Amino acid sequence: MIDGLTYYQILGLPEDALLKEVQGAWRKFVKENHEDVVPQAERQAAKERMFRINEAYAVLGHEEKRADYDNGYMLNGGSKNELVRSRVRRAKDIILRDRSLITREEMKLIESIIDYLDKNIQETCFVWMTDILCERPEMARHVVTSAFDEQLLGANSHLLNTLLEKAPYVMTWEKIYLYGEEILGVVGKENKERNYNQLARILCHRLDLAKHFVYPAFQEQASGCESCLLPTLLKVAPKEITQDHFNDYIDTVHSMRWIVYGQLRNYNEQAVDWILKARPDLIRKPEEKPAPKELPLPLRS
C-alpha cells in the first residue's frame, strides 16, 4: 500500500479488474500527467503521482506479482483464472437477455473479457453488439472499443461498419489513439495493413480529428505496411502535419540504416517524398553522420 491506498485504489480500479483494464487505466494516467500537458507549477506533483501510478502498475500489470500481492493483502485470493471464468459465465448470460434491458455496465463487462473468448463466441458478441447499436443508437459510445477489438481480432462481423454508418461522431481521439497503439502489437503484416486501412476509413468520417492520425500514419510507414492511412491523410488533411511531426518522422527514417534495413528505408524515403510533394513548405533536416570511431592504439597503422 501507498499512503493507506491499495494499488487498485491508486489506479481507480475494482479488485477484479482484468489486465486489459489495468493497462487502460495506466495509459490514461500517463497521458493526464505527461509533462507536455501539465502546467509548469504542477509538474512536481505530477511526477509524484506518476511514481505511485508506475509502482502500482508494475505489480498489477504482472500476473505473478499481482497474485502475490492479492494473496498478501487478502484480495481476490490471487486467482485470476477464476475471475475470468466468472465474468465469462456472466457475459454469456447477458447476451441471452432482452437487448432493450442491457445496461452500460453490462456492455463494459463483455468488452473487458472479449480477449478471453474463443473466436466463435467473440463473433457472437460482436453481432450482438451490432444488433444493440441498430436498435438502441444511444448505446453507440459504449461499443467503440469493441468495434476496434473486432478489427484487431480479425472477426468476421460488421460492428465497426455499422458504427461508422450510424454514429461515427462517438469516436473520441483518445480511443482512436489507443487503437493506433494496439495496431503496433498486431501479428502479421497483412493484419496490420487491414487495421491501418480501417483507420483511414475512420479518418474520412472524422476529419475534425485529423491531427490525431498523423503519428499512426507515420507508424504505418515505419512498420513497412503498404496500406492507405498516410496517402489518405495527405489527400484529405495534409496541413495537419506540422514541422515537429515531420522532424520526428525523419529521425525515425534516419535511424533505419541502409545496410540493415535497405528495403524498409527505401519505402520510407518514398513516403518522405509523398509528404514533401503534398507539403512543400516542410523542411527535411539533414541526416547526421556518426563520427568515425578511433581504433585502439595497438591497431593503429
pLDDT in tens, 183-207: 999 999 999 999 999 999 999 999 9
Q: What is the pLDDT of residue 136?
A: 95
Q: What is the pLDDT of residue 150?
A: 96
Q: What is the pLDDT of residue 74?
A: 53
Lowest model confidence (mean pLDDT) among 22-31, 74-83, 236-245: 74-83
Instruction: Please tell me the distance from the alpha carbon of residue 58 to that of residue 65, in angstroms, as a whole number.
Output: 8
Q: Above 50 in pLDDT, residue 78?
A: no
Q: Which three cell numbers stand for residue 262?
A: 535497405
Closest CA to 152 of 195, 215, 198: 195
Of the chain, the end-to-end C-alpha distance in Å amounts to 62
Residues 239-262 have a mean pLDDT of 94
Q: Which three cell numbers stand for residue 275?
A: 509528404
Whether this prediction's pTM lies above 0.95 is answered by no
- Give the model's confidence band at 276: pLDDT under 50 very low, under 70 low, under 90 confident, else very high: very high
Q: Above 80 in pLDDT, residue 301?
A: no
Contacts of 167 (CB under 8 A, 6+ apart): 133, 137, 140, 141
Q: Above 70 in pLDDT, residue 112?
A: yes
Q: What is the pLDDT of residue 86?
A: 74
Lowest model confidence (mean pLDDT) among 29-33, 200-204, 240-244: 29-33
Per the listing, cell 509524484 goes with: 48
3-state secondary structure of 61: coil
The fraction of the chain above a pLDDT of 90, given in percent, is 60
Residues 106-126 have a mean pLDDT of 88
**Do residues 211 and 244 lie in contact, with contact meaning Cβ atoms separated by under 8 Å?**
no
Instruction: Please tell me the distance from the alpha carbon of residue 142 to that of residue 263, in angstroms, as a whole number.
Output: 42
Q: What is the pLDDT of residue 253?
A: 95
Q: Can you spell out the DSSP letters for 72-86?
A: HTT-GGG-HHHHHHH
The torsion angle over the Cα atoms of residues 100, 101, 105 and 106, rounded to 10 degrees, is -90
Q: What is the pLDDT of residue 39?
A: 85
Q: Which three cell numbers stand for residue 60?
A: 498489477
Q: What is the pLDDT of residue 6?
A: 87
Greatest Cα pair distance, the chain, in angstroms, is 84
Q: Above 90 in pLDDT, residue 135?
A: yes
Residues 253-258 have a mean pLDDT of 92
- Beta bridge partners, 5, equal 2
Alpha-carbon distance values, 270 to 73, 149, 214 (Å) = 56, 31, 17
Contacts of 142 (CB under 8 A, 6+ apart): 104, 107, 108, 111
Contacts of 105 (CB under 8 A, 6+ apart): none
Q: Above 80 in pLDDT, residue 2?
A: no
**Do residues 268 and 230 lie in contact, with contact meaning Cβ atoms separated by under 8 Å?**
no
Closest CA to 147 of 132, 208, 116, 19: 132
Of the two residues 249 and 258, the one the predictor is more confident about is 249
Q: What is the pLDDT of residue 76?
A: 47
3-state secondary structure of 238: helix
- Give the model's confidence band at 4: pLDDT under 50 very low, under 70 low, under 90 confident, else very high: confident
Q: What is the pLDDT of residue 296?
A: 63
Instruction: Please tell me the distance from the alpha carbon of residue 147 to that of residue 217, in angstroms, as a whole number.
Output: 20
